[in-house]
């Protein structure tokens, strides 16, 4: 069984006499193709528009440089489009959220709707917090 682990979550390790033999025909590059983080899932084709605020494009380029099939192209001044096929949609969504309003999912529609819903919940949460602070 092949498994992935986040290196920053490993607390300790030790050298043992145990051996691991990868499955016959296993190729790490093929296994990791499309992987976004440590969780696997079905392949999802994504198209995301990035707005170049606060060096966003430099960050996107740096954080996706290893992705062989990803394409990042400028569609107009200050606006870039990223396309890729990913495995690990929850981690990809979390990564997108880190860009705030500088990232807009175009496809798939289900991911776009989920992020819209999340943004609405966040807006409601912050509005409630402000209301509670004003009452004090």
Count of domains observed in the chain:
1
Question: How far is 127 from 118, CA to CA, in rounded Å?
Answer: 14
Instruction: Output the pTM of the full model.
Output: 0.77
Instruction: Report pLDDT digits (tens) over 59-104.
Output: 999 999 989 899 999 999 999 999 999 998 999 999 999 999 999 9
- Give the CATH number of the domain where residue 64 resides: 3.30.70
Query: Pairing relation of β-strands 71-76 and 103-107?
Result: unpaired
Q: What is the secondary structure of 93-127 as a DSSP string?
A: HHHHHTTGGGEEEEE-HHHHHHHHHHHHHHHHHHH
Which pLDDT band holds residue 28 (cuts at 50, 70, 90)? confident
Residue 6 lies in a domain: no
Residue 1 lies in a domain: no
Residue 35 lies in a domain: yes
Which domain covers residue 127, as residue numbers? 31-135
């Amino acid at each position: 069984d092949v498994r992935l682990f986040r290196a920053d979550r490993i607390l300790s390790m030790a050298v043992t006499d145990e051996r691991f033999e990868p499955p016959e025909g296993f190729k790490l590059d093929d296994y990791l193709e499309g992987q976004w983080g440590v969780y696997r899932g079905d392949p999802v084709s994504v198209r995301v528009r990035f707005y170049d605020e606060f060096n966003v494009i430099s960050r996107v380029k740096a954080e996706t440089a290893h992705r062989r099939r990803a394409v990042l192209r400028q569609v107009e001044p200050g606006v870039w489009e990223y396309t890729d096929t990913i495995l690990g949609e929850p981690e990809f969504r979390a990564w997108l959220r880190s860009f705030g309003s500088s990232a807009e999912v175009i496809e798939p529609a289900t991911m776009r709707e989920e992020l819209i819903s999340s943004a609405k919940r966040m807006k409601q949460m912050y509005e409630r917090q402000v209301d509670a602070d004003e009452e004090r």
